[in-house]
Amino acid sequence: MKTKFNKVLFDLDGTITDSKEGILNSLRYALDKMKLEQYDDEFLMSFVGPPLMDSFINKAKLSVEKAEKALGFYRERFQTIGIYENKLYPGIRELLHLLSQRNDISVYIATAKPLPYAIRVLEYFKIIKYFDDISGSTLDGSVSGKTQVITNLLNKFKPDFNRESTLMIGDRDHDIIGAKENGIKSLGVLYGYGDLAEVRDADYLVESVIELQKFLLGGK
C-alpha cells in the first residue's frame, strides 16, 4: 500500500517513550534543591514536552537567573538517573521496524529535548537505527522550541521536498503548532501526555499505537 506521507517526524517524550517518571523525579529534585514549592504531578506534567526554561519561567514563575539555576539542578539528576527512568510505549518498536522496511518512507525525530539526551535515549532503547536524522534543542538554548527544531530538520531536506507529504507526530500542542508554522501536516496521539483539547487542531488524531500503525501503513 502506497503511503500518503513519505517523511514522518516523531516527537520523542510522550510519543515514542513514556519518560514522565524520570522527568518528574528530576523536576522534584530541582525544586527541592531550590527550596521551592513541591507541585503536584498534574502541574508538573505540564512541564513535559515544552522547553524547560520556558516552563520554569512561565509556570513556576521563576526569574531567568533562578530558572537557569533550576535547569542546572534538573540536568544534574536527569542526565545520570532520570534519563533511564523511561520506557517505550508498547508497539512502538514494532512500528518503527515496520516503517524501516519501507523504501518509500523516511523517519525522523523532532524533539524539544536537548539533542545529546535524545540520542542517548534512542541508543539506550536500541532504536536509533530506525531514524534517518535526529533534530533536537541545544543545551545552551540557542535552539529551543518545537517550531525551530522542525525548521532545522526541514532545512536539511532538498528545497523541492513536498510539505504536503511530510507529517509531524506528537502529543502536545507545541507539536501541532510547530507543524503548522512550518507548513506541514500534523497528527496528534492521545496515548501520550496531551489531551484532546490540547491536540484537537491537528490534521489527524489517533488514540493508540495500533491506530497510528494503521494510519501510517494501512491494514486491519
In sequence order, what are the residues at sequence separation of 6 or more whose Cβ sits closer than 8 angstroms to the Cβ of residue 131? 10, 107, 108, 109, 122
Query: 189 φ, ψ to 5°?
Result: -100, 135
The residue written with cell numbers 534512542 in the block is: 122
Beta strands in the chain (DSSP E): 7-10, 17-18, 87-88, 106-114, 133-137, 166-170, 185-189, 204-206
Strand partners, 83: none
Q: Which three cell numbers stand for residue 34?
A: 531550590
CA distance 143 to 115: 10
Catalytic residues: 11
Q: Which three cell numbers stand for residue 17?
A: 517513550
Query: 162 φ, ψ to 5°?
Result: -90, 110
Report how far Cα 64 is from the mean position of its chain's Cα atoms: 24
Nearest to 43 by CA among 197, 193, 203: 193
